[in-house]
Amino acid sequence: MRNPGVFHVDSEIVVPFFDVDSMHIVWHGHYVKYLEVARCALLDSLQHDYRSMQASGYMWPVIDLQLRYIRGASFGQRLNVRASLVEWEHRLKINYLISDAATGERMTRASTVQVAVHIDSGEMQLASPQVMLDAVRGVLS
């Protein structure tokens, strides 16, 4: 069983025509975009989005991405993308579940790992900056 995380946010996406192939199935690379939409919603809920990260002096590049396709999504399908915060003290790990919004059927599982990198020095941080810890603590308390 995947770690459900300590905090999650759901985002709905309706599959647009330009994301599908000639069989009207979502091209596999577009799922990464759906994860980004959900990750941004999660960070917004933490009140520590990418602009806040940059303003605090850190960027957070994705260093690992895992995707498991279970069933292809199709044109016009309503998807629920759940982003769940799993780790935040040394790195930012988010688990994702993409499911059919109408039936709840599981379509795709994924996870991303991001690390803090100091903007000025380019140095990867071995622990999350205090500003990130405070943002998570704010939603958990």
Structural domain spans, the chain: 7-140
Largest CA distance in the chain: 48
Q: How far apart are CA 134 and CA 124, in angstroms?
A: 19
Write the CB contacts of 13 (distance below 8 Å, at least 6 apart in sequence): 34, 37, 78, 79, 81
Name the 3-class secondary structure at 84: strand
* 73 has a pLDDT exceeding 70: yes
| Residues counted in the chain | 141
User: 7-140: which CATH topology?
Assistant: Thiol Ester Dehydrase; Chain A (3.10.129)
Name the 3-class secondary structure at 36: helix
* 1 has a pLDDT exceeding 70: no
88-121: pLDDT as tens digits: 999 999 999 999 999 999 999 999 999 999 999 9
pTM: 0.94
What pLDDT, on a 0 to 100 scale, did the predictor assign at position 141? 85
38-48: pLDDT as tens digits: 999 999 999 99
User: Taking Cα atoms as reference points, which of 138, 139, 115, 141 lies closest to residue 53?
Assistant: 115
Range list of β-strands (E), 2-70:
7-14, 58-59, 62-69
Residue that is written with structure tokens 């759901």 in the block? 10
Q: Is residue 93 within 8 Å of residue 86, measured between CB atoms?
A: yes
